[in-house]
Structure 1
């Protein structure tokens, strides 16, 4: 199609008794979604205002058949035809000839120790393994290089170039290119607001960016990515909502608004020459999330298209596209956060919901649980420029290979930016290209890996080496060391802890047999998917772990109860006990109020008014699920407010909890459940000493799981080497997989 001119752009119910013990465990994978739609109770119809139809609503309440669902999901987005040829086709970006379309986007790796004076082996291995796995281009964040003064606003060190060359050389050895992303507002230029810079300081910033790019070029890097997206300082210059300058860098018109960005690109080109590639990162559209719809002065698509054209004229070789949301900025690169929680599609993190048909100018695809959400925006930018365009935004090529391959093949995007998926499995590109999709470790969108900005430890739910390699727990780093002596290892328990322990032990050279009491593997992954829905892909995780057992030649035996006598009869050298934690029951039903244990819920007997006792992630997940069924839910949390749902990542909590509050969930923190009465549950609120009765018909006990070490203690008492794997300190899936990995590395 003909590109718009610069002027045109710039001027304007089945019965499910024993829910989690029976059907939920069979609901792994594709069947889970269909099973959960037949819950035995009808969900409450959405009101018309929530669906954007308030102005045209009839005077009488519409019947459920006429209510349009807000942000309906297309669950077919994970289809796989086997054709990924477009993703693995070569492309030239500036002076780089990429072997495929996969790029590792910039994100904090936290691989450099504080006060580092040389490049850490952790950082070299972390990025080197991603390059080995087939990624064509790796973009580092400034944090990895900042100790050496190579990025803008830094004081260069004499040793800096040599240290940076170590990681550049390692990535080049794997036939991949390497670059660095940086923006404005750095330690030596600490100003963080657009209106605070003097004209002289702006000129110095421009020169500084050019000098930093040249330092990186001299250190062996192939490109830089200049960040003018999210809510960073450079983006502030572009936004009429924040730029109130009255000089030539103000936002009075498009020309002034984009001036600084253009000058930076021109300076980098001037200092680095034509053989150095310049990438840019912009917001294609912005949306106020904390006060939904109040978008005065926010960037609109036409402004972004004008910016893209001007960047191309200034010498940029590529444009990466995001969205801008100031409140929960994680949405800028992780739109799947907006789908966290059961049937919470479009959650803003402020108790409201985006309507993807209207918000973001209707150009963000919110129908795939966050996957590929920015593709339509990238397509709109591509329509007005001749340089390549790409995007991040949960571009999970494992999960949605047909969707993403088609986007590349159709010319909607040129590069596919990924981060979390490559952290989970650095070999994702290689495995996908070789047709081994079932061997790729799945990203389950838990966001534990981005917890550091919110003051919590970073880790990966699935890849136990992330943030643990080269620590006291894992001093050997990412590689598995072969066992000194092959042993006959018995693993008891087929949940995530046991499956990971069996996998690691076998890969190290042990002979491993795994025993599971139930008829199938997966442990509580089936329960988790039943309550969470398909968003976090618990079924994919179960399938991946089961496939890894096959690859590692682990013998699996299901339907087998293991006790001390059985262990003696089998005579293993080592026993790894991964039977999970146990739960206590502290309440009893009354004549009219039914008490259920979280492990054996009968959905058809749950009253419309429910109280969940417990403040852990299972309690919150079940609350989300029941709210979607039209139930009225309250939570009695024995702990403090700041530990509510603590087992999930802080980002998940930031989106899920406000949604529950907005749906009427009342949480009683620091409260004790004391008695089930004939009309509800009596509690004592410890912070104020108040006794209160919550009227309800059902109480669900969801106490924190406790250690379950009886079997391992009994086995150890016989003299057989035995270890507890997660069952001694049960917490969540991440801790279970971590325990399995660490223990299996030690035998």
Structure 2
């Protein structure tokens, strides 16, 4: 039992790298997993052919072998591109919404930007998207609600009009900026946004119940008139059209949905007939047309298909796609010029626009935030293809609605054609869908996405990671709730942290910058320094760049596009002129010989010695050795951090019985993952049998057991065939300490171990400041 003997007393090393991973075979050699700047790890258990296959399956982004992983098995064969010239595709062609022609089929959908309270930020944000080649821009409704168009309303006690004046908002400046790029711009008229309190005539004292009965007839009349008046003001500002948000939790959706339309059966706005259900929205459309002219475009955003997620599948009042077709036909007759379809799910608000969360846990595809799982072959009428990790999830439903109406139909749910050009071109060219409504890939990750795409430079597109750090990430380590993992400028440009805006300032004078470490922090720092005009050399100890990204892709699968991110960062650094040297360990003597003006250390975090020994029956493996080992059925994972959480889900997907143990409180489970992603994946983890012992510590490892001291002081014994040590990393400042007297900056896990987003952000800011 050579592997078990070697595992005893393993040192906890830097998270990146691992000679033991060579045993996974040539299938993993190209991932960069062997890289790293930490001390050379020792060998662990040799891999069997079975373990090689298992690990390489994870690398390919498949689902795992557990029963839960088979509910929605994943297939990545759709990610192909056989198109010689993307500029000649249907996706690149123009199409009109009413009287307004969109430049191409990529449309920036209205979504929370996090910049609506600052005109400089907002104008630059939308301006960058417009200049990046997008076909059309839809501005989020937060501007209308929070500042200048809507009013907080109570029919019983009207009170003063609390609206700010139109000229106090940034909307006029946004319109001018977007139009200067030759791009049409619409604005979403949105209701029901969190933080905005509406008191309707029948709203109960404890707050809104999101039911149509809350509105009296007087409320309805006021609402319809106010929509028309507001649209007229928006038209005067210069908007080319409006989008009525009649989806999700917004007021108009209360009337379209049978679940929320609880008005009497004989009520003119009640649920008894399709005509009555659509009457409220139809009269809003007609009011806008009367106020703004018949040629002023009105797009309707509505649930394209509905399903209940709590309790899962009990959907007697959910609208199947066939009902949506009937509703859409009546709204088209009322004057709707186009439709924007989203996923209609109840109870879990974020699921309506963050469908990525369904697929965020490796092997837990379909988890809905309530500890239950959608089976996409059955739920939603079987019209959604859940085998592509949520990419283009709404295409099936959109195709059915499109056949029912004569106006353009678009849909959201991770529309990212750079992932699968053939797949999306076929959807558009065959008439399944007219527009691809996109947000995060263009608004956050890369505003130049459309231009790069249609210039056949897909490899130059900075990929969205679908990590949901951009969506109200309340536990964000750096305090940026609407940021972006891959683009440090998002939510920082023109703030105190980044007053210069999106573009880093050109260097003043010449500097020789030495970056040590080729993980995400090192590659980001090197690229930004080079783009500023400095002479930059990047040194990586291993034979390839990537660091943590390669390991993260293995345990997460392909959902978060981390392999694409690694490749983009490496190419971007070299394209900026960074001189890259791999296979070289940097010491203080190396730095002295190079004599740089600035040293940026991105050498990753380190790990202390293990606090316990393994046994023959229960070996202990480090986090970078476990894939090459026979772990048995019961596995204990030490740690609650993002890496430990990913490892635990990976093992669970392959049928292991997993228990996580950490000193952290339970709120720390998955720390480093985004708040919204955890809201989906954590219930799924527990539903699939995963356990987590918070405020606890492993005291000893026995023969087939582990003893754990809980927060109450109780000592419990768990069956355990292997322990994976994924305890928190520590700062790795040894080299920095040796370079006293030089200009040295530590970034990423080297300075403060946390997550990929923090590594990239700290590196970007450091490079701008040096």
Shared fold, TM over 0.5: yes
Equivalent residue for 1:108, pick from 99, 102, 112: 112
Shift of 1:38: 8.1
Equivalent residues of 1:392, 1:418 under 8 A apart: yes
Equivalent residues of 2:144, 2:189 under 8 A apart: no
* 1:392 maps to 2:412: yes
Q: Deviations over 1:23-42 (max 9, x none)?
A: 69635399999953289xx9
2:146 and 2:402 map into 1 onto residues whose CA distance is: 37
Equivalent residue for 1:251, pick from 267, 271, 276: 271
Q: Deviations over 1:718-747 (max 9, x none)?
A: x32111112110111101111110110011
Shift of 1:550: 2.2
Q: Deviations over 1:436-479 (max 9, x none)?
A: 11111000110000025899723211000111122222111212
1:680 and 1:283 map into 2 onto residues whose CA distance is: 51
1:144 and 1:303 map into 2 onto residues whose CA distance is: 32
Query: Which stretch has the larger CA shift, 203-212 or 690-699?
Result: 690-699
Map of 2:199 onto structure 1: 190
Equivalent residues of 1:183, 1:234 under 8 A apart: no
| Change over 3 Å in CA distance of 1:38–1:665 after alignment to 2 | closer
Equivalent residue for 2:724, pick from 682, 692, 700: 700
Equivalent residue for 1:290, pick from 310, 314, 323: 310
Map of 1:746 onto structure 2: 769
Map of 2:439 onto structure 1: 419
Map of 2:392 onto structure 1: 372
Shift of 1:155: 4.6
1:734 and 1:317 map into 2 onto residues whose CA distance is: 40
Shift of 1:231: 2.8
Map of 2:182 onto structure 1: 175
Shift of 1:242: 2.2
Shift of 1:20: 8.4
Equivalent residues of 1:21, 1:599 under 8 A apart: no
Query: Which stretch has the larger CA shift, 190-199 or 490-499?
Result: 190-199
2:627 and 2:76 map into 1 onto residues whose CA distance is: 27
Equivalent residues of 1:150, 1:161 under 8 A apart: no
* 1:271 maps to 2:291: yes
Equivalent residues of 2:138, 2:188 under 8 A apart: yes
Equivalent residues of 2:662, 2:694 under 8 A apart: yes
Q: Any idea what SS the aligned residue of 1:217 has?
A: helix
1:452 and 1:620 map into 2 onto residues whose CA distance is: 18
2:33 and 2:389 map into 1 onto residues whose CA distance is: 15
Equivalent residue for 1:637, pick from 657, 662, 675: 662
Shift of 1:411: 1.2
Any residues of structure 2 matched to 1:146-545 within 5 Å, and which?
Answer: 146-151=145-150, 155-160=162-167, 163-185=170-192, 187=196, 189-191=198-200, 192=208, 193-246=211-264, 247-422=267-442, 423-452=444-473, 457-545=481-569
2:709 and 2:591 map into 1 onto residues whose CA distance is: 46
| Change over 3 Å in CA distance of 1:664–1:78 after alignment to 2 | same
Equivalent residues of 2:342, 2:412 under 8 A apart: yes
2:260 and 2:555 map into 1 onto residues whose CA distance is: 42
Map of 2:743 onto structure 1: 721
Aligned residues: 704
| Change over 3 Å in CA distance of 1:433–1:45 after alignment to 2 | closer
Q: Any idea what SS the aligned residue of 2:299 has?
A: strand
Equivalent residues of 1:265, 1:314 under 8 A apart: yes
1:237 and 1:20 map into 2 onto residues whose CA distance is: 60
Q: Any idea what SS the aligned residue of 2:735 has?
A: helix
| Change over 3 Å in CA distance of 1:34–1:441 after alignment to 2 | farther
Equivalent residues of 1:431, 1:439 under 8 A apart: yes
Shift of 1:283: 1.0
Map of 2:650 onto structure 1: 625
Map of 1:126 onto structure 2: 125
| Change over 3 Å in CA distance of 1:158–1:330 after alignment to 2 | closer
**Unpaired runs of at least 5, structure 2:** 4-17, 35-51, 153-160, 201-207
Query: Which stretch has the larger CA shift, 617-626 or 26-35?
Result: 26-35
Equivalent residues of 2:145, 2:190 under 8 A apart: no
- Across the aligned residues of Structure 1 and Structure 2, the Cα RMSD in angstroms comes to 2.5
Shift of 1:330: 2.5
Map of 1:595 onto structure 2: 620
TM-score scaled by structure 2? 0.87
**Unpaired runs of at least 5, structure 1:** 1-14, 52-68, 114-118
Q: Deviations over 1:560-582 (max 9, x none)?
A: 01001111111211111100111
Q: Any idea what SS the aligned residue of 2:20 has?
A: coil
1:673 and 1:223 map into 2 onto residues whose CA distance is: 61
Equivalent residue for 1:96, pick from 96, 100, 103: 100
2:145 and 2:684 map into 1 onto residues whose CA distance is: 38
2:682 and 2:120 map into 1 onto residues whose CA distance is: 39
Shift of 1:223: 1.1
Equivalent residues of 1:613, 1:619 under 8 A apart: yes
Map of 1:64 onto structure 2: none
Shift of 1:299: 1.1
Shift of 1:599: 2.4
Equivalent residues of 1:27, 1:526 under 8 A apart: no
2:407 and 2:22 map into 1 onto residues whose CA distance is: 52
Equivalent residues of 2:641, 2:728 under 8 A apart: yes
Shift of 1:184: 3.5
Equivalent residues of 1:33, 1:534 under 8 A apart: no
| Change over 3 Å in CA distance of 1:694–1:517 after alignment to 2 | same
